[in-house]
Structure 1
Amino acid sequence: MLASLSTMMSHGFKSSKQDYTFGPWTVTAARNHIMKSKDIERLAEEMNMPSLPEMMFGDNILRIQHTEGYGIEFNAIDALKRVNNMEDAVKVACAQEWQESRADSEHSKEVVRPYDWTYTTDYKGTLIGDSMQLQVVKTAERINMEKLKAREQIMFFDEVLLFEDELHDHGVSMISAKIRVMPTSFFLLLRFFLRVDGVLIRINDTRLYHEAGKNFMLREFSTRESQIAELKNVPAALYTEPNDIAQHLTLKLTECERLELPGMQPGSDVNDVVP
């Protein structure tokens, strides 16, 4: 079995915090130890969920913040708030077994009830700022992925794991954020990856892109999902590789938004503000 990111991080792990300045923006990547059981139990009660992912990194954060205080960050707790705590979304043979195993653990004192045990989340980030925030406006504009493929020097790169669970050895559910900063732009990918062995593979991606000097960021959210039965012609070795399997999954949803900097008129055209 391939070593997971969390497994690699656990050996000789040291907490770290990196800051990188890009024009008026500061990119912060903080990695800390896994949450303690008692803290996970308390958080589960607050969220009205029978249990939380086995590996919770509640203090891990990837944040992009403007000098004026507004910006966007990505953290595990807000990601979990977008999980359905009322409905068992994937009904498979192992679901009941998995829930019962959690009910017997010392961390769960509640009666087992239906909820999304896969921890699927459509989290797209948390807007931050006290007096002002980025304004979210729907758009048809897309991130120029071809432009991102151009060879450009990477000034800063980091990846932060938010949570991971092996679903009682029946697959994996995990979400992580990674960012790269180039001389003229930055690009962030928040990826939720779910594999329920023998059942399905799902990827929820949030891509965030900003060019220096522009008065907005572009944010694209997509959901890709296929039943394992639909992937008969895909080598099983790819099932554990999100980057490789993504192109084989069926695109179910795409949402495009502009995150406009405060002071810009909502819905105004980019040509009005950028030469």
Structure 2
Amino acid sequence: MMMSHGFKSSKKNFTFGSWNVTVAKTHIMKSKDIERLGEELNMPSLPEMLFGDNVLRIQHTEGYGIEFNALDALRRVNNMEDSVKVACAQEWQESRADSEISKEVLKPFDWTYTTDYRGTLMGEGLQIKVGKTTERIDMEKLKAREHIMFFDEVLLFEDELHDHGVSMISVKIRVMPTSFFLLLRFFLRVDGVLIRINDTRLYYENGRDYMLREFSTRESKVAELKNVPAALYTDPNEIAQHLTLKLTECEKLELPQTVDEVNH
């Protein structure tokens, strides 16, 4: 089931402290633009619902920040062969020998649109510096019922994989009086084969000179999920906790010091 999409364009801005969140949502990308983009990205096909102009951006008054958009997410899709995906495609092809996808899968390209996109850093002069860290986002703190001053969610792309599942990526943010928290989630379900979730969590606490970013990949073959009710397969929030954690990477996004701060 596709999410229902109201195609009324909207743009929202929300300012808190030195930060501004911009959320732009608009209609699906036009087919001529999609064709051009497919050529540019060297991908034989692109998601059927591609929101090329949708964006969620968090920007500091000094100009630096991070944004989330569909095109950069697609740039992280493997347009070359990948043994895991091809093995899975093979399995899938055999189960769907008659379907149109089987012809397409032969072109080496990741037809699941799996992406490990974690956002796009922005800023001309001042740049956020990314480094590894052992510090983790305090999920308990996030459970505290703090007043939510701003919340929004943006869909970047979605595809039904020729009615054999779903591949989608969306990003949502909530801003509290003392912090903000963002979740970018890529969700893939290939019916009868596998479920995969790539999550990027971004957390910032007021007054700190860095954000924390955690990326994780969870994946299970459907055969490994026998004890999980199939009704949960379509709900990323529910199924996430049943999938096998394959990878976690924690990063510190250090905010640049401005001249004023250095002089104080």
| TM-score, with structure 2 as normaliser | 0.91
Which residue of the partner structure matches residue 15 of structure 2? 21
Aligned positions of 1:1-275 closer than 5 A = 2=1, 4-5=2-3, 8-10=4-6, 13-87=7-81, 89=85, 90-91=88-89, 92-94=91-93, 97-99=99-101, 113-263=107-257
Cα distance in structure 2, aligned partners of 1:102 and 1:30: 33
User: Bigger CA drift: 128-137 or 88-97?
Assistant: 88-97
Cα distance in structure 1, aligned partners of 2:230 and 2:33: 37
Which consecutive unaligned segments of at least 5 residues does structure 1 have?
104-111, 265-272
Alpha-carbon shift at residue 114 of structure 1 (Å)? 1.3
Cα distance in structure 1, aligned partners of 2:118 and 2:177: 25
Identity of aligned residues (%): 75
Cα distance in structure 2, aligned partners of 1:180 and 1:98: 41
Deviations 1:93-145 (A, max 9, x none): 34774435769xxxxxxxx6111000000000000001121100100000000
Alpha-carbon shift at residue 71 of structure 1 (Å)? 0.3
| TM-score, with structure 1 as normaliser | 0.88
SS class of match (1:9)? coil
Structure 1 residue ranges, 4+ long, deviating more than 4 angstroms after superposition = 100-103
Give the partner amino acid of 1:145.
M
8 Å CA contact retained: 2:209, 2:255: yes
Deviations 1:185-220 (A, max 9, x none): 000000000000000000000000001111000000
Give the partner amino acid of 2:221.
Q
SS class of match (2:115)? coil
Cα distance in structure 2, aligned partners of 1:93 and 1:144: 39
Cα distance in structure 1, aligned partners of 2:102 and 2:177: 51
Which consecutive unaligned segments of at least 5 residues does structure 2 have?
none
Cα distance in structure 2, aligned partners of 1:9 and 1:168: 19
Give the aligned length: 251
Give the partner amino acid of 1:83.
V
Which residue of the partner structure matches residue 267 of structure 1? none
Cα distance in structure 2, aligned partners of 1:161 and 1:133: 26
8 Å CA contact retained: 2:52, 2:71: yes
